[in-house]
Structure 1
Amino acid sequence: MPSFCQVDVFSSEPLLGNPVAVVHDADGLDDETMARFARWTNLSETTFLLTPTVPGADYRLRIWTPGGELPFAGHPTLGSAHAWLEAGGVAAGADVVQECGAGLVRLARDDAGRLSFQAPPLMRSGPVDAGDLRAICRALRIEESAIVASTWIDNGPGWVGVQLADAASVLSLTPDFAAFGDLKIGVVGAYDEGPLAIEVRAFCPGYGMAEDPVTGSLNAGIGQWLAGDRLPASYVASQGTALGRAGRVHVRRDGDEVWVGGDTLTTIVGTVGLGL
């Protein structure tokens, strides 16, 4: 049976971040088995570590939600790299290189051992049209005048970014999930002071979950949108507060590159019976 672990991502304390289920040595699993297991774990993402298929990659990763497969997602990338390294994986170069549906993703480790991934290029960017903006307001139950700024920041999952006046406005949202359709909405609002720059919420009912606790891909898109402009070039984002979590996402812009990092901690280790 393949080995299995569950990693808490974006928290230095157990049970306060966003867990990802990781299945090791998954080359023999077919798509239906992966999809069925992801539905069964009922986590925001379940990942499968496989042998890489392209030069330069250290491993290949497939990422599944209860609703289907994603080409890229941030917290599964960090948690799966943590699991791969903890299981004895050794990167060929200075950085870990992950192969996934979005291509090659580079991960670095700082002196404290914290992993960060380089934000992948956006697959969709630019202004949100009037029809989509009306749909977003209906879904979030807000007036259009409450939106400070909006843009597409899709690096795979389909995110559209919405900035509100402040963190309190973000935390007060009570969305109408029946009105979302295919929308995956990331909402951000700034704190006036303190160690946290922004509060983030990620609404994605189309992926089988109403709200994702802590979201690397969304924070990557927000960093590409706002870091070094309306936000500092380096900052810490809070996410998960409304769900009783304490996610902390470390975002850094270095020239044209945006890096997204967070603490990772293994919470469950074992084997899983998936027919191998």
Structure 2
Amino acid sequence: MWNRTAKMPTCDLVDVFCDGPLSGNPLGVVHGGDNLTTEEMQALTNWLGFSETTFLLPPSDPDADYRLRIFYPGGELPFAGHPTLGSCHSWLAAGGMPASEDKVVQECGIGLVEIRQDGDTLAFRAPELLKYEPLTDQERAAAIAFTGIDEGALVEAVHVVNGPKWQLLRLKTAGDVLAAQPASKAPLGTDIGLAGPYETGFERDWELRAFFADSHERFSEDPVTGSFNAGVAIHLFEQGLVKGFYVAGQGRKIGANGLVMCAQDESGAVWIGGKSKIVSKQGALD
């Protein structure tokens, strides 16, 4: 598949946003893939079959600690959340040494992304939204149909694009989110998520679900989605619906138990954090 005269790349399997064994979103992180072509990266991504696979590369920006390319079965993404945290965890575990003591700087398609470490939790600074406006009536109707929500539970529908083209449907309650019955098919590039609050006293403050369509138009549910959580968090903080800090849960309907820590600092920056664990360190991909 690739140049066998070069050193073989290796791959870590990382569980991201986990809250216990195998409870988060799996990610393949490839080390030493500098000589791989874009086509070879895409082929390996398709073969592994995860929602995303990433490739750690030397930075081209002098302010970055490493460069990351992020692939999903349908192509390449300029940014994604769980790949950012999982790749940073894998890079640090492999002996990566950031230039700064208090942060790691990742270079990716949208530019530089800052990542901070607090104990066993990593958090990335949510990138600014590239598109932030209400859905049109046509987009709203399509999103309702694809996600199978109760239209009476819908509070608002907005674009929260930060790389992936997320559409957010905010619902009245977490129960409304869990009750949605999504379609099995949708056009490639359909990225729609749901968010609804719990009553006070729960371990989690909000419940999220996120759906995406692949190159075969299969409309699949993602276990835990950093980029969608980032877009939701910016919106919730911006609208004053949450203050300071909250915990989002995701993945319950498909056997996951993801926990995402969302915070806004004094400067107004939004941070999306969670725990990662390397499940398996693979040898050379030969």
Aligned residues between the structures: 273
TM-score calculated relative to the size of structure 1: 0.95
Q: 1:174 aligns with which of 173, 181, 203?
A: 181
**Secondary structure of 2:128's partner?**
coil
Q: Aligned equivalents of 1:169 and 1:251: distance in 2?
A: 21
Deviations along 1:97-154, one digit per CA (max 9) or x if unpaired, are 00000110000011x2310000011111111111111111111223543211121101
Residue in 1 aligned with 2:148? 141
Structure 1, unaligned runs of 5 or more = none
Range moving further from structure 2, 179-188 or 13-22? 179-188
**Secondary structure of 2:132's partner?**
strand
Q: Which amino acid in structure 1 is aligned with residue 241 of structure 2?
A: R
Q: Aligned equivalents of 2:241 and 2:187: distance in 1?
A: 27
Q: Could you say if the C-alpha distance between residues 87 and 108 of structure 1 is closer, same or farther in structure 2, counting changes exceeding 3 Å?
A: same
**Runs of 4+ in structure 1 displaced over 3 angstroms?**
142-145, 179-182, 206-209
**Secondary structure of 2:210's partner?**
strand
Residue in 2 aligned with 1:212? 222
Q: Which amino acid in structure 2 is aligned with residue 250 of structure 1?
A: M
How far off is 1:183 after superposition? 2.3
Q: Which amino acid in structure 2 is aligned with residue 69 of structure 1?
A: E
How far off is 1:226 after superposition? 0.2
How far off is 1:231 after superposition? 2.2
**Secondary structure of 1:38's partner?**
helix
**Secondary structure of 1:187's partner?**
strand
Q: Aligned equivalents of 1:117 and 1:195: distance in 2?
A: 22
Q: 2:283 aligns with which of 245, 254, 271?
A: 271
How far off is 1:271 after superposition? 2.0
1:104 aligns with 2:104: no
Q: Aligned equivalents of 2:276 and 2:81: distance in 1?
A: 12
1:133–1:144 contact (8 Å) kept in structure 2? no
Q: Aligned equivalents of 1:256 and 1:13: distance in 2?
A: 31
How far off is 1:177 after superposition? 3.3
The residue correspondences of 1:239-258 to structure 2 (distance < 5 A) are 239-254=250-265, 255-258=267-270
Structure 2, unaligned runs of 5 or more = 1-7
The residue correspondences of 1:77-156 to structure 2 (distance < 5 A) are 77-93=84-100, 94-110=102-118, 112-156=119-163
Question: Share of identical aligned residues, percent?
Answer: 44
How far off is 1:4 after superposition? 1.5
Deviations along 1:145-202, one digit per CA (max 9) or x if unpaired, are 3211121101001101111111111111111132456321010011102120011000
**Secondary structure of 1:185's partner?**
strand
How far off is 1:258 after superposition? 0.4
Q: 1:261 aligns with which of 254, 257, 273?
A: 273
The residue correspondences of 1:1-80 to structure 2 (distance < 5 A) are 1-80=8-87
